[in-house]
């Protein structure tokens, strides 16, 4: 714990960070509201100009008939799966073992909706067409998360997506996109959001990952699907009298950052290469396919945190505020390239990675 506290403290003192868009503080909302006319009326339980305009903007961007703003992706995705299950009268869906619904939602899908998930692929790789074909139970919906966050943000090849989409349509299986980080993968695929979303029946996108808003999500799909999702949104307690704090910030940062995803992707590749040059370090994926990747280091957690503390204190550059053990002798952390990386002076970055490599060579015992 001493090393952890020291590292967290040292990280907080750094002026430069390689990950993210900067602090998640109240200023993020204040900046988003600065130019907004205070006389504008609040949305009211899902109605009104602010929410309707943004929903229409996102439906158009994603190439879907309609869209609805949700306070959270957790709520949006459970509801999407529930609608597809009810429509087919089959209470089974399929998704990856490290799907957000499986590991981060306290089993809401099972406890609230009584939907049984079938886990496809394994914890080291993304879902393939073969996994879907091999399914021997009837499912209402297949959920694909692009990129697969918990394994460093891996992606299937685009041809695989197309093949899975065609197979599902043929078999009457609805295809849902967990696109929490959809915008972040478009540069790698070289596709528009609309092109990717056309492969899916329903799509969720988040506004506080690459976009860097305060919170909130959009669920998009056909008109009937979205109309039904609004009923469930009210049942879940998500049809708030006012969602504008999230909508206005989502809209503000969407406009600010939607055009920067290519830059973040390029910088993620550059940064991953810097990590991979270091002794005892490997990134996953080796070459990122979005703005994110995981950094795996062959070193016990306490040793690594001591080492990182020294580096932060010496260089003023923060690499991560936490590490997670993968074994007794190894650990990892996640990088999501945003606005901050671009602002780290190149010489400080070089100095930091030289020092990291030097210390790892000395200490990792390799």
Please select the residue that binds a second copy; options are 122, 241, 324, 345, rule is CB under 8 A.
Answer: 241
CA–CA separation, 27 and 99 (whole Å): 32
Does residue 113 belong to the site contacting a second copy (CB under 8 A)? yes
Work out the widest C-alpha separation in the chain, in whole angstroms.
64
How many beta carbons lie within 10 A of that of residue 221, not counting itself?
29
Please select the residue that binds a second copy; options are 87, 128, 160, 242, rule is CB under 8 A.
Answer: 242
Does residue 103 belong to the site contacting a second copy (CB under 8 A)? no
Sketch the per residue contact string, 335 through 364, with a second copy: x for CB under 8 A, - otherwise: ------------------------------
**Complex with a second copy: residue 121 or 250, whichever CB lies closer:** 250
**Complex with a second copy: residue 252 or 269, whichever CB lies closer:** 252
CA–CA separation, 275 and 132 (whole Å): 35
**Complex with a second copy: residue 76 or 127, whichever CB lies closer:** 76
**Complex with a second copy: residue 112 or 355, whichever CB lies closer:** 112
**Complex with a second copy: residue 44 or 135, whichever CB lies closer:** 44
Q: For the segment 22-41, give every residue that binds a second copy (CB under 8 A).
A: 23-30, 33, 36-41
Q: How far is the CB of 300 from a second copy (least distance, A)?
A: 27
Does residue 8 belong to the site contacting a second copy (CB under 8 A)? no
Sketch the per residue contact string, 45 through 74, with a second copy: x for CB under 8 A, - otherwise: -------------------------xxxxx
Please select the residue that binds a second copy; options are 63, 97, 245, 316, rule is CB under 8 A.
Answer: 245
Q: How far is the CB of 46 from a second copy (least distance, A)?
A: 12
Does residue 89 belong to the site contacting a second copy (CB under 8 A)? no
When computed from its CA atoms, the radius of gyration of the chain, rounded to whole angstroms, is: 21
Sketch the per residue contact string, 204 through 233, with a second copy: x for CB under 8 A, - otherwise: ----x-----xx---------------xx-
**Complex with a second copy: residue 232 or 312, whichever CB lies closer:** 232
Q: How far is the CB of 50 from a second copy (least distance, A)?
A: 8
Q: Which residues pair with 67 in a beta bridge?
A: 220
Please select the residue that binds a second copy; options are 65, 107, 157, 194, rule is CB under 8 A.
Answer: 107
Which ranges constitute the DSSP H helices of 203-345?
Answer: 223-236, 244-257, 261-276, 301-315, 339-342
Tokens of 282: 């490997």
How many beta carbons lie within 10 A of that of residue 131, not counting itself?
18
Does residue 273 belong to the site contacting a second copy (CB under 8 A)? no
Residue 320: name the closest of 92, 65, 80, 10 by CA: 10
Please select the residue that binds a second copy; options are 239, 256, 302, 313, rule is CB under 8 A.
Answer: 239
Q: How far is the CB of 212 from a second copy (least distance, A)?
A: 12
Size of site (CB under 8 A) for a second copy: 51
Does residue 266 belong to the site contacting a second copy (CB under 8 A)? no
Contact 257, 210 (CB under 8 A): yes
Instruction: Map tokens 């959001």 to a residue.
Output: 193
CA–CA separation, 327 and 298 (whole Å): 9
Tokens of 165: 């989409």
Buried b / exposed e over 29-52, threshold 16 CB at 10 Å, is beebeeeeeeeeeebeebebebbe
264: left (phi over 0), alpha (psi -120 to 50) or beta: alpha
97 backbone dihedrals φ, ψ, rounded to 5°: -60, -20
How many beta carbons lie within 10 A of that of residue 11, not counting itself?
18
Q: Which spans of this chain sit near a second copy (rule: CB under 8 A)? A: 23-30, 33, 36-42, 44, 70-76, 78, 105-108, 111-113, 208, 214-215, 231-232, 234-246, 248
């Amino acid at each position: 714990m001493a090393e952890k506290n020291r590292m967290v403290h040292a990280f907080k003192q750094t002026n430069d960070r390689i990950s993210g868009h900067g602090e998640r503080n109240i200023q993020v909302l204040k900046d988003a509201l600065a130019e907004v006319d205070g006389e504008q009326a609040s949305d009211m339980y899902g109605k009104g100009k602010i929410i309707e305009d943004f929903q229409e903007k996102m439906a158009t961007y994603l190439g879907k008939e309609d869209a609805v703003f949700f306070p959270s992706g957790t709520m949006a995705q459970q509801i999407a799966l529930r609608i597809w299950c009810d429509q087919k009268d089959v209470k089974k869906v399929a998704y990856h073992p490290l799907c957000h619904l499986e590991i981060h939602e306290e089993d809401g899908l099972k406890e609230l909706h009584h939907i049984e998930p079938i886990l496809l692929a394994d914890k080291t790789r993304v879902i393939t067409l073969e996994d879907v074909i091999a399914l021997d139970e009837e499912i209402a919906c297949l959920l694909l998360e692009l990129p697969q966050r918990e394994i460093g943000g891996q992606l299937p090849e685009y041809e695989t997506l197309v093949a899975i989409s065609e197979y599902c349509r043929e078999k009457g299986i609805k295809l849902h996109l967990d696109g929490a980080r959809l915008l972040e993968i478009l540069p790698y695929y070289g596709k528009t959001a609309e092109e990717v979303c056309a492969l899916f029946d329903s799509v969720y996108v988040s506004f506080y990952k690459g976009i860097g808003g305060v919170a909130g999500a959009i669920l998009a799909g056909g008109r009937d699907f979205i109309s039904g999702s609004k009923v469930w949104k009210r049942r879940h307690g998500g049809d708030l009298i006012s969602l504008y704090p999230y909508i206005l910030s989502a809209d503000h940062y969407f406009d600010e950052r939607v055009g920067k995803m290519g830059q973040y992707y390029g910088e993620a590749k550059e940064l991953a290469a810097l990590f991979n040059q270091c002794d005892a370090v490997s990134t996953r994926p080796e070459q990122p396919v979005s703005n994110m990747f995981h950094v795996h280091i062959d070193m016990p957690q306490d040793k690594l945190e001591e080492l990182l503390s020294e580096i932060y204190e010496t260089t003023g550059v923060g690499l991560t505020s936490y590490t997670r053990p993968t074994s007794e002798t190894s650990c990892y952390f996640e990088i999501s390239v945003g606005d901050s990386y671009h602002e780290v002076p190149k010489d400080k970055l070089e100095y930091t990675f030289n020092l990291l490599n030097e210390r790892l060579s000395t200490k990792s015992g390799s």
